[in-house]
């Protein structure tokens, strides 16, 4: 029995869920998301709740049950409230700015890095070099944040680079001075 899979998904007012076989479309005030769910999983709407149930008892089906419920819950939350991820650009001379859907990163390379934001993801940069990514698709948002972080990962000596807000960078001790 999946502890996560057996929980019903609450559907707030103003959110419309269309179920056609294994295809699900969730529409809300922020936009709409679509997904095909596994054929081993059954989805039905009862009033203002979505119920996810397995069509078997194999280990594989049980694994998909909880995952499918979480993916559908993220779709409902995304079209209702949206998701946000914050990245911090840290280092002397390191800067970020947004120009027409392109995130321009000056992070120690000889030329600035132009990062094209995918459709559905918006970015804003404040004066403290904090990048705020917004979107309704949690999966795409996390992937985009990871790809931006990949441009210049934080290094362990001074912590320079792009890191997630709240991420702890384990620091290393630098070279010891000449002690002879």
pTM value is 0.87
Task: Report percent pLDDT > 90 for the chain.
Answer: 79
Indicate whether 36 and 13 sit together in one domain: yes
Does residue 89 lie in a domain region?
Answer: yes
Task: Provide the residue range defining the domain that includes 122.
Answer: 83-164
CATH number of the domain enclosing 109: 3.90.930.12
Dump pLDDT digits (tens) for 38-95: 999 999 999 899 999 998 888 889 889 999 999 999 999 999 999 999 999 999 999 9
Indicate whether 105 and 152 sit together in one domain: yes
Q: Phi then psi for 62, rounded to 5 degrees?
A: -65, -35
């Amino acid at each position: 029995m999946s502890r996560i899979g057996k929980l019903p998904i609450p559907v707030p007012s103003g959110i419309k869920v269309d179920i056609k076989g294994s295809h699900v479309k969730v529409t809300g005030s922020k936009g709409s998301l679509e997904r095909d769910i596994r054929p081993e999983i059954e989805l039905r709407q009862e009033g203002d709740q979505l119920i996810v149930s397995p069509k078997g008892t194999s280990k594989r089906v049980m694994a998909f049950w909880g995952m499918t419920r979480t993916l559908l819950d993220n779709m409902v939350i995304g079209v209702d409230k949206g998701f946000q991820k914050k990245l911090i650009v840290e280092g002397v001379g390191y800067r970020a700015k947004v120009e027409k859907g392109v995130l321009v990163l000056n992070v120690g390379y000889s030329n600035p890095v132009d990062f094209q934001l995918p459709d559905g993801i918006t970015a804003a940069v404040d004066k403290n070099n904090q990048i705020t990514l917004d979107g309704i698709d949690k999966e795409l948002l996390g992937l985009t944040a990871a790809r931006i972080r990949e441009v210049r990962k934080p290094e362990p000596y001074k912590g320079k680079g792009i890191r997630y807000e709240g991420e702890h960078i384990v620091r290393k001790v630098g070279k010891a001075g000449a002690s002879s």
